[in-house]
A and B are shown apart, each in its own frame.
Chain A
Amino acid sequence: MSQVNITSTGRRTLMQTQGFATTVKHLILALVALFWLSPFVWLFFAAVDPRATSAFKVPDVVTLSNFVMVFAGSSSARWIINSLIIAGGTASVVLAVTMFAAYPFSRMDFKGKNLILWGLVLIRIIPLSAFMLPLFLLCVKLKWLNLIGVIVSLAMLNIPFGLLLIKNFYDTVPKTYEEAAWVDGAGILKTIFSVLFPISKSGAVVVWFMTFTSSWNEFMLPFILLRNPKLWPMSVGLFNSFGLHGTINFGFLAAFSIVYAIPSVLIFFTLRKNLVSGLSGAGIKG
């Protein structure tokens, strides 16, 4: 690459141009990585710094006390539990409902089926803001300004997408397995649980963990619906701690942020292949 090979026409060889181009590309990528990773630098320093502020500073003393505070503090521990309840509850409800509902959509032909399927796709266009007000008023009436209201609301919003995903998975299962089960006298419960579900398990996993992640990250809905600080999930707890300048410190919040972010990151990297194919499959085919 470093040898200049002048051809008869005086142009540099393809290889040398390629070499230069490659270096440029790596440089661009390095800048991109710098842009994407620099905000984290402060976060990680602050998380282990017992005296962190919003200012960038390499800590003199490194400690894990902030992380201990996250799990030991009564409010933050409660927020973690609430997040688990909301995310796990929503994911389970969505999976349970769509697991059953997707079967008729996949195997049956009934009036309005395609209309409903198209409707489900279109529903995703409506911004969350449009649902916030009716959901708030409804939860006030039903006295559901608590975790149940949040789970029901989030489930409602995630079921359309979940159904489309599971239906696509069921579509790939050949009917022969079911027919064999029917010969043995299986009812619908057995058909779904024992036949379809094990085969499309990867689809179920995708739906469960995608719903878990999106509910885990959700902010606006719990922010508006949950009036009692004891019920806040981590997103709302973090937001409300921004302003408590004197009482809560940046090191704690940084550690808290890291703990909060870990499940989402972990889930993605563990399930990456399934998630991406599932997403693009259902999202584009729609």
Chain B
Amino acid sequence: MRGKLSKFTILLCVFLLIGFVGFATGQKETKAPTTVSIMYGTPWKDFVQPAVAKFEKETGIKVKQVVLPPGTNPDQKVALDLAGGVACDVIAVDGYRIPEFAEAGYLLNLDSYLNNWSDWNEYYEPMKKMVSFKGKHYGIPLDTDVRMLWYWKPIFEKAGITMPWQPKTWDDVLAAARKIKAALPNVQYPLYLPVGSKMGEATTMQGFYMLLLGADTPKNDRNRLRDWNAGKWIGKSPALLRTLQVYQTVFVKDKLSIRDIYYTPDVWGDWRRAMIHGNIGIGLGGSWEFKEFWSGAGVKVPSEQEREKLVGWAPMPGSGVPGAPKIVSISGGWTFAVNAKTKNADAAWKLLKTIFTKENFGRWVAGAAKVSTRKDVSEMASYKQDKYIAAITKLVAYTTTRDTYPGYSKVSSYVQSATEDILDGKTPQQAMDNFYNNLVSEFGKDKVTVIK
């Protein structure tokens, strides 16, 4: 009996041994003091990697790079990593997260480094504000962007819509979409309007805000999510109602878009593939799409001339309601921040400095179809002379930023929920009531206001 037993005991010991190996490998992931780690998404590979090579050569410190594959949501991952205490030393953070992360103590205050860095003076004030919380700065702004209407020129040609397309009101946009739907029934998305929680912040910015901001006058923040003077979130307003009504028109009444594409596992890749394969007529998207329609679809980026033949853009018009802005855009921006729990703050800062030199940033920004966040790079010839950049820089004059007060990310998720209510068949009024109730339940009745 003992002989048979030992075979099993051996197996048991083998697996306990494997378990310990697993333990050891797990522990090895914590960085030794002579390495520095950085995490960012694939779109920034070209920007970061040359600087990392330079940093390693100059300082001899090894850099562990965690590049998130396309299709992963870096915003979500960073938040959970920080909460779990396992984030990298340097991390890419979406600008709107800075207040919440800073408040929770996850980010390192960089003021002592920034004040000794001459480049810091080149950054535009609104950009500096984007990375600040209660007057302290927690990151370096990477880029910014604008948002507009993209359209697929071959479809417009076939549908007989005159180009260059210059819609003046919401009705113009909807009319064009209806024309596409009638003329080309094979196009599944005559109008692509980001909706739902799968697309996350894209729904709130490229979809909801682009409508909301044009739905009413900017006076007293009537066209926003927060009344900054009163210090309250806006739970009900005519602008909110009008925005939800557009969602209803697009998804329920006129069926200018079906639901499928907004919930696929790879929402970003599929949006771009749908565009370049001629399945989208008009789409609300960011300025980076001029390059990402192809690179984000996993396809080689054609020359600028070829791209201009296929895709065009127009500034998003307002609703046409008296007093509402005629042109609307909203800007976000990514930043790079430092983990408050880093064991190597100096090395992390040095790495940041190397990445954010004028040369490195200037080299990358125009080609990536991004808007510069600092004066010295905006003055560079390569940037000034880029045709596309010059054109969208005009939009920068009309743009605004999100209402990023702590708690914004919750408001944003309620916005996404409201758009989903429309998809589920609720009326705009019901969706708005739910939105209001969500805000009240989250922040308390005294922090939410109603605009008549």
A positions within 8 Å CB-CB of B: 82, 84-86, 88-89, 91-93, 95-96, 136, 140, 143, 145-148, 151, 193-194, 197-198, 201, 204, 227-228, 230-231, 240, 242-247
Chain A residues within 8 Å of B12, by CB? 92, 95-96
Chain A residues within 8 Å of B80, by CB? 227
User: Could you tell me which residues of chain B, from 386 to 439, have a CB within 8 Å of some CB in chain A?
Assistant: none
> How distant is the Cα of A70 from the Cα of B296 in the complex, in angstroms?
25
Asked whether, in the complex, the Cβ of B22 is within 8 Å of the Cβ of A140, the reply is no
Asked whether, in the complex, the Cβ of B15 is within 8 Å of the Cβ of A92, the reply is yes
> How distant is the Cα of A84 from the Cα of B21 in the complex, in angstroms?
12
Asked whether, in the complex, the Cβ of A243 is within 8 Å of the Cβ of B266, the reply is yes
Closest to A247 in B: B69
Chain A residues within 8 Å of B50, by CB? none
Q: Does B18 sit at the interface, judged by CB under 8 A? A: yes
Q: Does B158 sit at the interface, judged by CB under 8 A? A: no
Q: A-side binding surface: helix, strand, loop or mixed?
A: helix
Chain B nearest CB from A84 CB (Å) reads: 7
Closest to A246 in B: B298
Asked whether, in the complex, the Cβ of B5 is within 8 Å of the Cβ of A244, the reply is no
Asked whether, in the complex, the Cβ of B27 is within 8 Å of the Cβ of A89, the reply is no
In the complex with contacts A204-B8, A228-B29, A194-B23 CB distance below 8 A: no
Given A84, A145, A194, A244, which contacts B71 in the complex, CB threshold below 8 Å?
A244
Given A145, A146, A198, A240, which contacts B4 in the complex, CB threshold below 8 Å?
A198
Closest to A85 in B: B22
Asked whether, in the complex, the Cβ of A89 is within 8 Å of the Cβ of B72, the reply is no
Given B4, B5, B22, B85, which contacts A82 in the complex, CB threshold below 8 Å?
B22
Given B2, B4, B86, which contacts A201 in the complex, CB threshold below 8 Å?
B4
Q: Which 9 A-B pairs have the closest CB atoms?
A: A246-B298, A146-B26, A89-B19, A243-B265, A88-B15, A147-B22, A85-B22, A243-B71, A245-B266
Asked whether, in the complex, the Cβ of A245 is within 8 Å of the Cβ of B265, the reply is yes
User: Could you tell me which residues of chain B, from 260 to 309, have a CB within 8 Å of some CB in chain A?
Assistant: 264-266, 269-270, 273, 297-298
Asked whether, in the complex, the Cβ of B1 is within 8 Å of the Cβ of A198, the reply is yes
Closest to B4 in A: A198
Chain B residues within 8 Å of A82, by CB? 22
Number of B residues near A (Cβ < 8 Å) is 37
Given A92, A228, A242, A245, which contacts B270 in the complex, CB threshold below 8 Å?
A245
Q: Does B367 sit at the interface, judged by CB under 8 A? A: no
Closest to B6 in A: A193
> How distant is the Cα of A84 from the Cα of B15 in the complex, in angstroms?
9
User: What are 18 of the A-B contact pairs (CB < 8 Å)?
Assistant: A86-B22, A95-B12, A96-B16, A145-B84, A193-B5, A194-B5, A197-B5, A201-B8, A231-B25, A231-B26, A231-B29, A243-B265, A243-B266, A244-B71, A245-B71, A245-B266, A246-B70, A247-B71
Closest to A95 in B: B12
Asked whether, in the complex, the Cβ of A146 is within 8 Å of the Cβ of B5, the reply is no
Q: Does B254 sit at the interface, judged by CB under 8 A? A: no
Closest to B296 in A: A246
> How distant is the Cα of A231 from the Cα of B265 in the complex, in angstroms?
22
Chain B residues within 8 Å of A151, by CB? 19, 22
Chain B residues within 8 Å of A147, by CB? 19, 22-23, 25-26
Chain A nearest CB from B53 CB (Å) reads: 22
> How distant is the Cα of A136 from the Cα of B81 in the complex, in angstroms?
12
Q: Does B451 sit at the interface, judged by CB under 8 A? A: no
B positions within 8 Å CB-CB of A: 1-2, 4-5, 8, 12, 15-16, 18-19, 21-23, 25-27, 29-30, 69-72, 77, 80-81, 83-86, 264-266, 269-270, 273, 297-298
Closest to B12 in A: A92
Chain B residues within 8 Å of A88, by CB? 15, 18-19
Given A148, A197, A243, which contacts B23 in the complex, CB threshold below 8 Å?
A148
Chain B nearest CB from A70 CB (Å) reads: 18
Asked whether, in the complex, the Cβ of A84 is within 8 Å of the Cβ of B18, the reply is yes
Given B27, B69, B71, B81, which contacts A146 in the complex, CB threshold below 8 Å?
B27
Chain B nearest CB from A260 CB (Å) reads: 18
Chain A residues within 8 Å of B27, by CB? 146
Closest to B267 in A: A243
Asked whether, in the complex, the Cβ of A85 is within 8 Å of the Cβ of B298, the reply is no
Chain B residues within 8 Å of A242, by CB? 265
Chain A nearest CB from B10 CB (Å) reads: 12
Q: Which of B69, B81, B273 has the most CB atoms of chain A within a 10 A radius of its CB?
A: B69
Closest to A231 in B: B26
Chain A residues within 8 Å of B273, by CB? 245
Chain A residues within 8 Å of B70, by CB? 244, 246-247
Asked whether, in the complex, the Cβ of B1 is within 8 Å of the Cβ of A194, the reply is yes
Chain B residues within 8 Å of A84, by CB? 18
Chain B residues within 8 Å of A228, by CB? 29, 86
Chain A residues within 8 Å of B18, by CB? 84-85, 88-89
> How distant is the Cα of A148 from the Cα of B20 in the complex, in angstroms?
8
Q: Which of B15, B29, B69, B266 has the most CB atoms of chain A within a 10 A radius of its CB?
A: B15
In the complex with contacts A243-B71, A243-B265, A245-B265, A92-B19 CB distance below 8 A: yes
Closest to B80 in A: A227
> How distant is the Cα of A244 from the Cα of B297 in the complex, in angstroms?
11
Chain B nearest CB from A265 CB (Å) reads: 21
Chain A residues within 8 Å of B5, by CB? 193-194, 197-198
Chain A residues within 8 Å of B69, by CB? 244, 247
> How distant is the Cα of A247 from the Cα of B4 in the complex, in angstroms?
48
> How distant is the Cα of A197 from the Cα of B1 in the complex, in angstroms?
10
Chain A nearest CB from B340 CB (Å) reads: 15
Chain A nearest CB from B5 CB (Å) reads: 6
